[in-house]
Chains A and B, each alone.
Chain A
Amino acid sequence: MSLFDKFSDLAAARKSLGDGPVPPVATPMDAISSATEATIGGQPVILAGTNNYLGLTFHPDCIEQARQALTRHGTGTTGSRMANGTYREHQALEAELGAAFGWPAAMVFSTGYQANLGVLSTLAGPDDFLLVDADSHASIFDGARLGSAQVIRFRHNDPENLERRLARLGENASRALVVVEGLYSMLGDQPPLAAFVEVVKKHGAWLLLDEAHSFGVFGERGLGLAEQESLLDEVDFIVGTFSKSLAGIGGFCVSPHPELEMLRYASRPYIFTASPSPAVIASTRTALDLSLKGQELRQQLWRNINRLYGYLTKLGYEMGSTTPGPVAAVILPDRKTALAHWQGLLDAGIYANLMIPPATPQGMNLLRISLSAAHTDAQMDRILGAFDGLGSGQ
């Protein structure tokens, strides 16, 4: 018997991916030269498997603001927001996020994962209920597990299934927080948000929308799916991340309810960790401003999205979502085919993501392409062209 026996299934799964020179999971990047280019295994590649939706990681203004903050305020805060880790700039970013949504409350967390942990584990207490979509991100399930509320799953993207669960709660539905995402990162699909809002309102429940993958992508100002569908007034809490469209690291929660501020005194993932470093806060503030004004970036991103979805559909691939979005998940019949596709793309100079069970819903084997506003037309030609030699996998 060993402490490590429990990992034998994972070890077998890892072994099944082979021992080629470039591993398909935790793939090491030798060098990053731009938002869309890197060197992997000694070969230059186009990055088509990052979450850099607006392509801001190398934006000169973000880099310059981060550089100045690094020089002025040092490398780290070395402490919690509740002790020595609240700088004027953390408060300024929170004010800017609140202002972007027109809401009075905004909290910044050290990662997007911790934003869900901190909000879900604290907002819903022992007498409350968390109703979460079955295909939710791990941070949502982990946040639910860290708290003490009763956790109930409903079928993915199924408002009618949610309604049955809310109806069973009866009057207790007023103490239920429903959690959905603006874009599900595995299959790239979106929720029927208006229908969810209708069910939540009907039963007097609360709605939290995780816009981690949709912030910067949807809506005139890039605020996410709620903005695009004119439903901002119907949402109680929005959680988001700085590590995708905003090209940094960190997370946030904004709300029209000023009482959110009380979480600062109760949320353990907020309190018991160091606050984000000055350079990260500075680049994030600049990226937020660029995103809010980023209509041209979104136009280019959506041009790339529509090209990719159109092309892959024409080639006969089954996609994880029929509605185009920044994540394009190609469903492949088995792990071997998915691995062959991933390697084929890499050999053609394209880095994508291989996604396999247990990380994927319904045991799917996926090749996931994530697009960026920074992908040029020529790079898109290369990405599309790389699929020509692979076969449809059907």
Chain B
Amino acid sequence: MKRQTIDQAIRESVAEALPGLGDPDFDARLTSDLGLDSVQVMNMIMEIEDRLDISIPVNVLAEVHTLGQLGDQLEALKGGPS
């Protein structure tokens, strides 16, 4: 899966969680910068799972603090850059 596809799914899911935010900063922290609470983060991630048809183990998310890091993990789960 191309990184572009992953980032697009992230953008669409963020737009759904935070309507009106515009193009999100991939270095922004999910909670302190984007203002998402833990429930919103988990719901957004389930949305991304459905868009990309991938399951993201909860354990992996402990290392994820930014959208960019989320993209990295998704890329790794899908077998690396292509």
Of B37, B43, B59, most buried by chain A (CB within 10 Å of CB) is: B59
A141: chain B residues within 8 A (beta carbon): 58
Partner of A155, one of B38, B39, B46, B57: B46
Q: Are A153 and B42 in contact (CB under 8 A)?
A: yes
Q: Which residues of A are interface residues toward B (Cβ below 8 A)?
A: 134, 141, 144-145, 150-155, 161, 164-165, 168-169, 357-358, 361-363
Q: How far is the CA of A154 from the CA of B46 in the complex (A)?
A: 8
B56: chain A residues within 8 A (beta carbon): 152
CB distance from B52 to the nearest CB of A (A): 11
Q: Are B59 and A151 in contact (CB under 8 A)?
A: yes
Q: Are B37 and A363 in contact (CB under 8 A)?
A: yes
> What 1/0 mask marks residues of chain B from 53 to 64 whose CB sits below 8 Å from any chain A CB?
111111100000
Q: Are A151 and B58 in contact (CB under 8 A)?
A: yes
B interface: dominant SS = helix
A145: chain B residues within 8 A (beta carbon): 58
Q: Are A144 and B58 in contact (CB under 8 A)?
A: yes
Residue of A nearest to B56 (CB): A152
Partner of A153, one of B37, B38, B40, B58: B58
Partner of A150, one of B37, B43, B53, B59: B59
Partner of B55, one of A152, A155, A361, A363: A152
Q: Are A150 and B57 in contact (CB under 8 A)?
A: yes
Partner of B54, one of A134, A168, A357, A363: A168
Q: Are B37 and A357 in contact (CB under 8 A)?
A: yes
A362: chain B residues within 8 A (beta carbon): 39, 43
Residue of B nearest to A168 (CB): B55
Q: How far is the CA of A155 from the CA of B54 in the complex (A)?
A: 14
Residue of B nearest to A364 (CB): B39
